Chains A and B, each alone.
Chain A
Amino acid sequence: MEVALAIVIGALYAAGLYMMLRRSMVKLIAGLVLLGYASNLLIFVVSRLTRASPPLVPEGAHSVAEPFADPVPQALILTAIVIGFGLQAFALVLVRRAFQAVNSDDLDQVTASDRPDLQA
């Protein structure tokens, strides 16, 4: 399972970076989303996968029995997903506004901030 997930994560990183290197703004956002997924899955896998043994202390016992699933990475991923969701929503709005301002999806046209004649 770990091996399969490792390959998936590698593919996600590669796809995300490839999308970021394209010239389209929408693909840039898609690439960032993929990168986010890749790092979330990575956190999940590096803390080792444990099936069907939640970290719950049974009644009468004082600690959980090994092996149990580590709850910390799951909490981390949940936080990262929520933050990522907020940022992606902002990204979509930003790209839409930028598209309206530039009138193009091509990142090579996004040069006004380097051209003083278009500024005050």
Chain B
Amino acid sequence: MLPILIPFLMAILSIINWGNRVLHRFLALAGSVGLLFAALALLTTVSEQGILSSNTGDWPAPFGIVLVADLPGAIMVLMAAIVGLAVLVYSTASLDEARERFGYYPLILILLMGMCGAFLTGDLFNLYVWFEIMLIASFALLALGGSRAQLEGSVKYFALNLLVSAFFLTGIGFLYGMTGSLNMAALAQALRAAGPEQPVTTVAIFFMIAFGIKAAMFPLYFWLPASYHTPPVAVSAIFAGLLTKVGVYAMIRMFTLLFVQDTAWTHGLLLVGAALTMLSGVLGAVARREIRRILSFNIISHIGYIVLGLALYRPLALAGAWLYLIHHVIVMATLFLVSGIVQRVGGSFRLARLGGLYQRHPGLALLFLLPALALSGVPPLSGFWPKLVLLQAMLQDGLWLLAAIALLVSLLTLFSMMRIWVGAFWSQAPAGVVTPAPMASVERRMLYGPVLALLALTIAISVFSGPAFELTQRAAEQLLNPQQYIVAVLGESP
């Protein structure tokens, strides 16, 4: 419960002291550090003692709302805490005063709370509520500032996400009508016992569409490149790192715990969707000329890899997908934060207006190059290992065409990232570009610090990919054996 309560408490304290920037900063940083420690404690406990379950309000499951912490959930909470802390430190130096005054920090804290809630809940309707909390905070963050592009991006994002809510709610309604329960463990039992006359797969499609939009899967991703590049960099980074991943997480949860009746059809559909997501995303990235838009399209194509791991539906592939999820959260957040520094020192996000940064900031060039190579999956960086595992799983299933697509997508990702590299760092600076004022040392520390920390983490995952893979293998095992989950929640062996 602590990962939910800490950000909530700090957000409430910030709202009470509205308009006090210094206090807001302090509370937000304290909250995210606390969240980080709580998440670490949760992960070690879960990894030692197995799945934890807590009945809120002391109503016994399946009647009350349960919070369940298993390995996949605990890993994601830790990711949220890490990226949250990095983004908050970064935003103390990169945000303008007006945004800070208008409740930027409480909104980020509420966003983090919603994510942790969504990762830990064991109740379907409760998941819906956490999604809405997350949504309202992200709407406000996206629109905060009120430039034209931001408002237009928000309208698109908003409309699509309300549609998601309607679909999600409809699915919940049907499930409740069929089984009379909303507890995920009880639902898993009831749906496994359901006969073929029950329209389980139809309901599964409702959830697939809802989470497919949230996770930005083909053909439902178009809201993402229309909105993610509009808000300030710190907001983009937390959205890119975490928000779509919550959709992916919910999708994996639903399609391993609840909807496994007709895997040939549902997971087959996911497989096709994942392949098309990878291809169309990366082709979009190749066609763009602006750093954050290239990165946005790369988010989409790499969501495809993660969903692919789910669609293959075997322990090896799921473990690979989870490792990919960890790697992608960190690397994407790093890249967005670096793009913010590029904009700060180069004055623009557009490649046509950038250039020659390598001469002036060789360190920054390295900071961009490493996560860019990790994203493309160049060995021995962190993106290589999960890709290797996923490829192995594909080849074991004899899916040669799919493996070829995955390799092609890696290559094109590398191409699109190298386009940023060439355009922003390597080429000659275009004539007539005004160089912005150099940074003060405090600002530099606040901007470079989080990037360096995240980069160190990427390298740590690359070096210690063995232990990390073991952890995700255990997570995948828990996902594929829902019996453990059901016993942990309902407390008896059925």
Residues in A lying within 8 Å of B, measured CB to CB: 16, 20, 25, 28, 32, 35-36, 38-40, 42-43, 46-48, 70, 72-73, 76, 79-80, 83-84, 86-87, 90-91, 94-95, 97-98, 101-102, 110-114, 116, 118-120
Contact = CB atoms under 8 A, between A and B. Distances in A.
Given A94-B158, A113-B227, A114-B226, A101 B173 contact: no
B166 A97 contact: no
Interface in B275-291: 289-290
Minimum-distance CB pairs A-B, first 6: A46-B177, A43-B173, A39-B169, A35-B166, A101-B148, A98-B151
A98 to B, nearest CB: 4
B350 interface: yes
B176 A73 contact: yes
Contacts of A16: 166
B136 A86 contact: yes
Nearest to B139: A90
In the complex, which range does the number of interface residues on chain B fall in? Answer: 35 or more
Given A38-B166, A87-B132, A94-B154, A46 B139 contact: no
Contacts of B290: 116
A43 B155 contact: no
16 contacts: A25-B155, A32-B159, A32-B166, A36-B166, A38-B166, A47-B180, A72-B176, A79-B125, A83-B129, A84-B165, A90-B136, A91-B162, A113-B149, A113-B153, A113-B229, A119-B230
Contacts of B226: 113-114
Contacts of B477: none
B151 to A, nearest CB: 4
A100 to B, nearest CB: 9
Contact of A95 (B155, B173, B177): B155
A41 B350 CA distance: 48
A110 B166 contact: no
B339 to A, nearest CB: 13
B427 interface: no
Given A39-B170, A46-B174, A113-B230, A20 B136 contact: no
A contact face: mostly helix, strand, loop, or mixed: helix
Which residue, of B143, B162, B290, B349, has the highest number of chain A Cβ atoms within 10 A? B162
A79 B162 contact: no
A112 B151 CA distance: 10
Contacts of B180: 47, 70
Contacts of A28: 155, 159
A97 to B, nearest CB: 6
B149 A118 contact: yes
A114 B153 CA distance: 9
Contact of B152 (A42, A113, A120): A113
B444 interface: no
A97 B159 contact: no
A70 B177 CA distance: 11
B151 A97 contact: yes
Contacts of B479: none
Contacts of A116: 289-290, 350
A46 B162 contact: no
A108 B397 CA distance: 45
B321 to A, nearest CB: 30
Contacts of A90: 136, 139-140, 158
Given A46-B176, A94-B139, A110 B170 contact: no
B170 A42 contact: yes
B234 to A, nearest CB: 15
Contacts of B174: 42, 46
B348 interface: yes
Contacts of B350: 116
B162 A112 contact: no
Nearest to A41: B173
B75 interface: no
Given A35-B163, A90-B139, A80 B169 contact: yes
Contact of A118 (B146, B148, B177): B148
A101 B148 CA distance: 5
A110 B148 CA distance: 9
Interface string B117-151: 00000000100110010011001100100111111
A76 B254 CA distance: 20
Given A46-B176, A72-B176, A113-B227, A94 B162 contact: no
A1 to B, nearest CB: 15
A112 B166 contact: no
B152 A35 contact: no
Given A98-B155, A112-B149, A119-B149, A40 B129 contact: no
B139 A110 contact: no
B348 A102 contact: no
Contacts of B230: 113, 119
Contacts of A32: 159, 162-163, 166
A79 B143 CA distance: 25
Given A70-B180, A76-B176, A83-B129, 11 more contacts: A39-B166, A39-B173, A42-B173, A47-B180, A73-B173, A76-B182, A86-B136, A97-B151, A98-B151, A112-B149, A120-B348
B314 interface: no
Contacts of B128: 80
B347 to A, nearest CB: 9
A87 B154 CA distance: 13
